[in-house]
Structure 1
Amino acid sequence: MTSWVRLSVGVLAAAAQAGCVVGPDYQKPILAMPANWSNQKTATQAKPAQLSAWWQRLRDPQLNALVNEAVTGNLDVATAKAKIREARASYRQSTATLFPSVDGSGSATRSKSAAATSGRAASDAHSQFQTGFDASWELDLFGPNRRGVEAARYGLDASQAELRSTLLTLIGDVASNYIQARGYQARIQLAKRASSSERQTAELTRAMAQAGTATAADVAKAMGQASSTEADIPTLEAGYAETVHRLSVLTGRPPAALAERLKRSAPIPAPRLPIPTGIPADILLNRPDVRLAERHYAQYTAKIGQAEAARYPAVSLTGDIDTSALKLGDLGKNSSISWSFGPTLSVPVFNAGQLKAAVEVAEAQRDQYFIAYRSSVLTALEDVENAIVSLRQERIRVSKLASSAKSYGDAARLEQTLYKSGETSLLDVLDAQRSLYSAEDDLVQSRISIATDYIALNKALGGGWDGVVETTTPEIIDVKTGPRLATIPVAP
């Protein structure tokens, strides 16, 4: 009997160590990628994209500080960190299934028996103490546990990629909202300057009307245009407040926390252009959302093996040893000892196709994540191409708008001079002022768009936070988690 047990253990242990697995082995897919971006010449070797701390090339210390604060305080980042801790714990749980488990037990009983002897009852009370260990080990013959560990490993990689994706989105949002805030400040200042100039024209027209060289209708027109320009200011102020509120929340603060800090106006950050964009294949490594999709695909490939292994026999080794005695001190010497050991075999015989259907479900899920991976790559390529085109065309547009604003400025000053000398009509002056304000506002918005397109291009290329992110510390530090007296909350 002992020889049979040893032989069984040896055979089963050898089978377990052989590393047999079922289901498909994951292989990273090879996708056809364009050789160059649409704006690159094929003969020119593309320079790699400079994605490290790309926001610093906007040359704004306030923005740099806000990015650092957002990485530390943003709640979406905190959630992504918690998901990493969850994935790590799940990975450790999966790894533990590869090892045996041992449980200890112990008991103490006091019993009394009574029997009738010669017309009277005799009783005998005695104690019994028992202790023992139970052990079990599921032999991973066809790899369901190893596939589970593999899936958990990919899941951990996915959670880390999700954190990077969250940081990429966060930094882009902080930079975009900061640009918008400075843009609103510039547009508010412009509207105030334009309305002030138009008010001066209205006052001049009023004085000319009193002198008989202008009419009351001219005064009304001049006042109306000034009021129309001033009406833009509340809308711009509201937009500015909303961007500041968003910035505050992105950094993990109440909405009005940054209002005083950003109150003082500053120029719209201007990036250094042009920027290198690398080659399309770079996004497979640089874009965290593409990496996330690829890890999900790998994870669900491993889950097919888990489902497939359930269709094969499962073998477990179980054993226990118990010792019992009438006295506690006799457990180690004068006790009765019993033990048992042996393999347990479980073979799926009939399940009406349930296990095969589970494999098909896993395969369909794997296919969905493969399609999602391909879709993420196409989306990334589209994002980069769109950002390149937008930035290139906006640079052309801003130069034209700058020329237009300069010409309208010259025209407005000339019309104002002619109007004062009575050589032109008020209508020409108002039209020149309105055209100047519109051209200057378009120029400011174009400068905002250039900075925003620069941000979009860096996000599309995969630029995010490349520094160390501490993910081991939980958000809530529990205290007094050991055994203690329970307290029952009293209902109000």
Structure 2
Amino acid sequence: MRSGDRLISDRAGLLALPVLLCLSACAVGPDYVPPMQALPSQWNAASPTRRPPALSEWWRQFKDPALNRLVEEAVAGNLDVAQAKARIREARASRVQAIAPLFPQVDGSASVTRSRSASSGDSSFGNVTRNSFRAGFDTSWELDLFGARDRAIEAATYGADAAEDDLDGVLLTLVGDVASTVIEARGYQARIALARRTAATQRETEALTKVRFQAGAVSAADTARATAQVASTEAQIPALEIALSESLNRLAILIGRPPSAMANRLVGAGQVPATPTPPRAGVPADVLRSRPDVRRAERLLAQATARIGQAEAARYPAVSLTGNISTSALKLGDLAKNSAIGWSIGPSLSVPIFNGGELAAAVDVARAQRDQSDAALRLAVLTALQDVEDALVGLRQERLRLASLATAATASGEAARLSQTLYRSGGISFLDVLDAERSQYSAEDALIQSRIALATRFIALNKALGGGWLRPVEVSRPRVDDPQQGPRPRALTLEPVQP
């Protein structure tokens, strides 16, 4: 064979080597298989139904325009949501980083050297000054023989999916917190209004008692009791005002605003919105699809499984293909024509022989982390089932409690009115009136608190079933804008040193 033919054959062999190695590439480590989950066929606290729950924008069923606006504002401005969006961008960028090593890495280089050599003795050459110009490219490509890069991409892809599920979970929690806080604030407003109405009625009773005392019909003790009852009721108002203010401040933080932003929001006496009809619970298997925390835990398990293969692949030989080409000349214009051109290309092999068990330990670490993720997934499923069961039982029992409290409030109101009438005619003592008014206030306040609890349990059931913000959310736009990112003069800001 001629030398030229041999050279062509050697080059063809070098170029075909990466293709042959890629074709023979394999994967190590376990392949991810979603774990089987033992789930009950139906809920204990709900009637059997095969229809999945309808969870689309459930908060609108309260028919509270202020609540609807606040949910929209919270999704746009909440800082936990902003962090979750940034985590998605981070996960997507990490996936691009994982994909990049599959492609050859090419670097360019250039240099200029000016040198001077001085002659010695009687040399006729004298002192010589030379310029040297060099330019070239270096390339390297690590072949993914045992799937280390593929496993890294697989893990990064699962991580990006988990980040998106994390955002859904943050939105689910956010919508539930906004709705619960609005209901809570409405409840405090209603309780404040009740306390003021009750105090006004008790003031009338106090005035009547004073008139009867002046007429000699009652004792001074009755007058003191009437004054004490009014003061006790009015003392409830500041505490309720504090609780209302704290709810409004918490609501401001949820929408990403300072507390002062809620000064003129939710004004008025307010009423606790009527609780809508509870959603269908479906079957327990629906929770695995609708709960973001369960989906995220499953994606993290898949990611941990892929990382086992990534750690296992590091124990096998690595093959890289490297090459470079360069040109040098004494003049800049000669780099492209009258220059010396050199090149080299060839594979390199790296085999781990002894590392003190470090690589094997890395595999054990990855397996232990996979087991942690598996336990976390199973715990997330059990917690989700518990949340739904608790919410179903709580909602059903609170409805029964609310009905009983409504009956008690109605009866207490009627008893208070009859006591007032009988007291004016002298038919009963003031102690009877005092007891009737206390019972009325207590029953009506308990009724309001039950309405708050019922609405809160309705919210908890929707959250437990996975109902949240189902519309698309823009995640690609950074929250912090960096207008200047290219090269520019560096500006140093030095803080003064404090003595």
Structure 2 residue 139 is matched with structure 1 residue 135: yes
Structure 2 residue 37 is matched with structure 1 residue 16: no
Q: Distance in 2 between matches of 1:334 and 1:350?
A: 49
Change (3 A) 1:472 1:274: closer
Match of 1:148 in 2: 152
Q: Distance in 2 between matches of 1:420 and 1:119?
A: 137
- Gap runs ≥5 in structure 1: none
Match of 1:68 in 2: 72
Query: Is contact 1:46-1:277 (8 Å) kept?
Result: no
Q: Distance in 2 between matches of 1:47 and 1:420?
A: 60
Match of 1:25 in 2: 31
Q: Distance in 2 between matches of 1:161 and 1:466?
A: 12
Q: Distance in 2 between matches of 1:17 and 1:133?
A: 27
Q: Which moved more, 1:188-197 or 1:45-54?
A: 45-54
Displacement of 1:18 in angstroms is: 4.2
1:256 is aligned with what amino acid? S
- Identical amino acids, percent of aligned pairs: 56
Q: Distance in 2 between matches of 1:71 and 1:100?
A: 42
2:112 to 98, 108, 119: 108
2:42 is aligned with what amino acid? N
Structure 2 residue 47 is matched with structure 1 residue 34: no
Question: 1:102-148 CA distances to partner (integer Å, 9 max, x unpaired)?
Answer: 00111111111111252788111111111110000000000111111
Question: 1:291-322 CA distances to partner (integer Å, 9 max, x unpaired)?
Answer: 11111111111100110000000000000011
Q: Distance in 2 between matches of 1:274 and 1:99?
A: 54
2:448 to 439, 444, 448: 444
Query: Is contact 2:115-2:131 (8 Å) kept?
Result: yes
Report the TM-score, using the length of structure 2 for normalisation. 0.96
> CA RMSD of the aligned region, Å?
1.3
Displacement of 1:473 in angstroms is: 0.6
Match of 1:364 in 2: 368
SS in 1 for 2:137: strand
Q: Distance in 2 between matches of 1:255 and 1:126?
A: 73
Match of 2:63 in 1: 59
Q: Distance in 2 between matches of 1:99 and 1:118?
A: 58
Match of 2:167 in 1: 163
Match of 1:379 in 2: 383
Change (3 A) 1:39 1:489: closer
Query: Is contact 1:33-1:280 (8 Å) kept?
Result: yes
1:7 is aligned with what amino acid? G
Question: 1:157-176 CA distances to partner (integer Å, 9 max, x unpaired)?
Answer: 01111111000000000000
Match of 2:342 in 1: 338
Match of 1:417 in 2: 421
Query: Is contact 2:213-2:223 (8 Å) kept?
Result: yes
Match of 1:6 in 2: 12
Report matched runs for 1:17-416 at 5 Å. 17-41=23-47, 44-118=48-122, 122-416=126-420
Q: Distance in 1 between matches of 2:46 and 2:459?
A: 20
Q: Distance in 2 between matches of 1:426 and 1:12?
A: 101
Question: 1:191-213 CA distances to partner (integer Å, 9 max, x unpaired)?
Answer: 11111111211111111111001
Query: Is contact 1:59-1:271 (8 Å) kept?
Result: no
Query: Is contact 1:108-1:127 (8 Å) kept?
Result: yes
Query: Is contact 2:49-2:283 (8 Å) kept?
Result: no
Displacement of 1:9 in angstroms is: 4.0
Change (3 A) 1:40 1:264: closer
1:331 is aligned with what amino acid? L
Query: Is contact 1:46-1:276 (8 Å) kept?
Result: no
Change (3 A) 1:55 1:111: same
Q: Distance in 2 between matches of 1:209 and 1:226?
A: 17
1:218 is aligned with what amino acid? D
Q: Distance in 2 between matches of 1:490 and 1:364?
A: 47
Query: Is contact 2:279-2:462 (8 Å) kept?
Result: no
Report the TM-score, using the length of structure 1 for normalisation. 0.97
Q: Distance in 2 between matches of 1:231 and 1:13?
A: 84
Displacement of 1:435 in angstroms is: 0.5
SS in 2 for 1:323: strand
Question: 1:229-268 CA distances to partner (integer Å, 9 max, x unpaired)?
Answer: 1111111111100000111110011112112121223321
Q: Which moved more, 1:115-124 or 1:451-460?
A: 115-124
Displacement of 1:220 in angstroms is: 0.5
Change (3 A) 1:27 1:260: same
Q: Distance in 1 between matches of 2:275 and 2:148?
A: 53
1:374 is aligned with what amino acid? R
Residues matched between the structures, number: 490
Query: Is contact 1:114-1:122 (8 Å) kept?
Result: yes
Query: Is contact 2:55-2:279 (8 Å) kept?
Result: no
Q: Distance in 1 between matches of 2:296 and 2:278?
A: 29
Displacement of 1:59 in angstroms is: 1.0
SS in 1 for 2:342: strand
SS in 2 for 1:115: coil
SS in 1 for 2:310: helix
Query: Is contact 1:323-1:331 (8 Å) kept?
Result: yes
Q: Which moved more, 1:473-482 or 1:432-441?
A: 473-482
Structure 2 residue 430 is matched with structure 1 residue 426: yes
SS in 1 for 2:383: helix
Q: Distance in 2 between matches of 1:74 and 1:23?
A: 41
